[in-house]
A and B are shown apart, each in its own frame.
Chain A
Amino acid sequence: MNLRARVWDALTTVLDPELDEPITDLDFVESCTVADDGVATVVLRLPTFFCAPNFSFLMVADAYDAVSALDGVTRADVSLADHHAAAEINGGVAAQAGFVGTFGDEAVAELDELRAQFFRKAALAGQDRVARPLVDAGIGPEELAGMSLGELLDTPELARMRKRRAALGLPHGDDAPLLIDGDGRRITSEQVPLHLRRARLQRIGIETNGEYCKSLLQTRYPAGAAAGRG
């Protein structure tokens, strides 16, 4: 794989924390180039001028970390375009100043807790993604409550849910229950129906937000301007 392709690959690991989707799938990468001297230049773009600075910062910083860690990249130049806080974010990420260092008095804490909050949401939504096909196939609450991850088909959705749980320190191994509450406890069969409704609502919440962002991005940047895959 050439270096440009590896840089793109690294960008696929960067998530929009709210939407729980890679920035590459969301079309947030405006351009991605690598010069002969190994300098990687990545420009990101977002659906609106006023997208929340905290989430915007996380994406730029995560992209910087992912790209600059690659062998062969001598320097990563990652920046955000067309955003009300672009100057602060770009300067802060380049200087490795952290969120508080970047925004000074306007920020009171780093963003780890915010990120964790969205992993928790993603982990709940993941239970709908993984369990819904089973429900549709007629599997009832009793059985669902007893299921563990090792019994399930190895799908991308399952892998994604395991990852989110792992990031939060929640049970994610083969013996982990399919359905758990926010503290990792197994859901009882009486709780299954409402738990699944909650998981579905969580998924709809995240996905609707994602659809909103995609619509607005398309309006802001009509098709044809995307970086495309390496």
Chain B
Amino acid sequence: MYEKDGEKYFIVDSHSHFWDASRENWKPGAEQFAKGWIDCFYGYHQLGPPETHWDYEHYLKVSPEDFEKDMFQEGHVDYAIFQSTYLKEWYTTGFNTADQNAQLLEKWGDRLIVNGRFDPREGDEGLKQLEADCAKYHHKGVKLYTAEWNGDSRGYKLTDPEAYRFLQAAQDLGIKNIHVHKGPTIWPLDKDAFDVADVDHAATDFQGLNFIVEHVGLPRIEDFCFMAVQEPNVYAGLSVVIGGLMHARPKFFAKVIGELMFWVGEDKMLFGGDYNIWVPKWQVEGFVDWQMPDDEAFTDYAKLTTTTKKKILGLNAAKLYDIPVPAELQLPTTADESMQPGEELVDNTAGAQA
């Protein structure tokens, strides 16, 4: 919980990690990729305020104690949702696996949500695994990497019949939230891995599921917004948006937030701090203090109210994940409720100011 000027904010960090990029974990023969990957993250890290920059060695691997301090003690986070990333071709024991995350569950199980995963290309075996995972962890969400290679396959679409079978099974097993990674990838080489068209169709056909597009589809934010406006069960995951832009490129941050508020709306935006690319402290505090600039270039955009910020920083995600919120911190949000798309935006006749 974060308190500022008498206002209390319930914080849900919907996108965090607990990775091991230590040199000991760089797979022999693949060191340059393991190093290249974490160096890439370290580049993003440096887009935060200078006083928050870490030493490279510390950045490679944090301890459970660091996590506790950075997230819960100093970072104001009430609940965090883990998304895992395996990358076992480069990291001997994996970059950020469910097992690694589980180390923290013992101590912080009441404040951590570990999301599951599935890959429709794994067929019946995969379905069985999903059932077993759900029985064990009671998953409410999964993270999917549609561009991931698997054997001869160069990725899949959510609209593949097999993917539909898994989405249906997930829904039947009580999963509500599908986090879709539409973001930087390495392979497949020749496709646009950011393409969100498949989310569009799946969201229409699975009204009982919520689809959270991580990193708001950056660098294809326009494709994401054009799609999200038609699909009331599609959400914007703000991971990388706040961390990467709020400090380093404040004007562009303002424009992106302004556009998201218009196309997606404050009930469908979810804070994600991306630990430990960045720590949540400066992101939460900075966002609470942040306001749409008064310059003429931003007059079209809505100002953010305290209510807006409370929803984005935690209340929307709390609703998607049924996280208990203390009564005095609650506010109504339409997150997780079925709604009709804004027709005026869909049929091209919105009266938005030109």
Binding site for B on A (CB under 8 A): 18, 47-50, 52-54, 84, 99, 103, 106-109, 111, 114, 117, 121, 135, 140-141, 144, 190-198, 200-202, 204-209, 211-212, 215-216, 219-220
Of the listed residues B37, B225, B348, B352, the one surrounded by the most CB atoms of chain A closer than 10 A to its CB is B348
B135 on interface, CB distance cutoff 8 Å: no
A215 and B189 contacting across the interface, CB-CB below 8 Å: no
A209-B218 CB under 8 A given contacts A106-B187, A191-B348:
yes
- B215-237 CB mask vs A (1 if < 8 Å, else 0) is 00011111101100000000000
Q: Which of B185, B226, B248, B353 contacts A198 (CB 8 A)?
A: B226
Q: Which of B47, B186, B188 contacts A219 (CB 8 A)?
A: B47
Please indicate the chain B residues that have their CB under 8 angstroms from the CB of A107 in the complex. Answer: 188-190
| CB-CB nearest 5 A-B residue pairs | A209-B219, A49-B36, A205-B222, A205-B221, A193-B354
- List residues 7-39 of chain B with CB under 8 A from any CB of chain A: 32-33, 36-37, 39
CA of A145 to CA of B29, assembled, Å: 60
- B85-100 CB mask vs A (1 if < 8 Å, else 0) is 0000000000000000
A84 and B186 contacting across the interface, CB-CB below 8 Å: yes
A198 and B190 contacting across the interface, CB-CB below 8 Å: no
Binding site for A on B (CB under 8 A): 32-33, 36-37, 39-40, 43-44, 46-47, 154, 184-190, 192-193, 218-223, 225-226, 244-245, 248-249, 252, 255-256, 259, 262-263, 345, 348-354
B353 and A193 contacting across the interface, CB-CB below 8 Å: yes
Closest to B39 in A: A49
B225 and A208 contacting across the interface, CB-CB below 8 Å: no
CA of A141 to CA of B349, assembled, Å: 12
B223 shortest CB reach to chain A, Å: 8
Q: Which of B47, B219, B348 contacts A215 (CB 8 A)?
A: B47
Please indicate the chain B residues that have their CB under 8 angstroms from the CB of A106 in the complex. Answer: 187-189
Q: Which of A48, A194, A204 contacts B40 (CB 8 A)?
A: A48
B326 shortest CB reach to chain A, Å: 36
CA of A200 to CA of B226, assembled, Å: 12
16 A-B residue pairs with Cβ-Cβ distance under 8 Å, sorted by A, are: A48-B43, A50-B40, A52-B189, A99-B189, A106-B187, A106-B188, A140-B354, A141-B354, A197-B262, A201-B225, A204-B222, A204-B256, A205-B220, A211-B249, A212-B219, A219-B43
Q: Which of A48, A208, A220 contacts B219 (CB 8 A)?
A: A208
A117 shortest CB reach to chain B, Å: 7
Closest to B224 in A: A205
A205 and B219 contacting across the interface, CB-CB below 8 Å: yes
Please indicate the chain B residues that have their CB under 8 angstroms from the CB of A207 in the complex. Answer: 252
B221 and A204 contacting across the interface, CB-CB below 8 Å: yes
B252 and A84 contacting across the interface, CB-CB below 8 Å: no
CA of A200 to CA of B252, assembled, Å: 12
Please indicate the chain B residues that have their CB under 8 angstroms from the CB of A215 in the complex. Answer: 47, 244, 248-249
A49-B189 CB under 8 A given contacts A197-B262, A204-B252, A212-B244:
no
Not counting A99-B189, A108-B188, A204-B255, a sample of 7 additional A-B residue pairs whose C-beta atoms are within 8 angstroms of each other reads A49-B37, A50-B184, A193-B351, A208-B219, A212-B244, A215-B248, A219-B43
CA of A201 to CA of B258, assembled, Å: 10
B309 shortest CB reach to chain A, Å: 21
Q: Which of A18, A108, A121, A219 contacts B46 (CB 8 A)?
A: A219
Closest to B353 in A: A193
A61 shortest CB reach to chain B, Å: 14
Please indicate the chain A residues that have their CB under 8 angstroms from the CB of B40 in the complex. Answer: 48-50
Q: Which of B154, B190, B248, B255 contacts A54 (CB 8 A)?
A: B190
A201-B221 CB under 8 A given contacts A207-B252, A216-B44:
yes
Q: Which of A52, A103, A108, A135 contacts B354 (CB 8 A)?
A: A135
Please indicate the chain A residues that have their CB under 8 angstroms from the CB of B252 in the complex. Answer: 204, 207-208, 211
Q: Which of A18, A50, A117, A198 contacts B222 (CB 8 A)?
A: A198
CA of A205 to CA of B241, assembled, Å: 12
Please indicate the chain B residues that have their CB under 8 angstroms from the CB of A111 in the complex. Answer: 190
Please indicate the chain A residues that have their CB under 8 angstroms from the CB of B350 in the complex. Answer: 193-194, 197
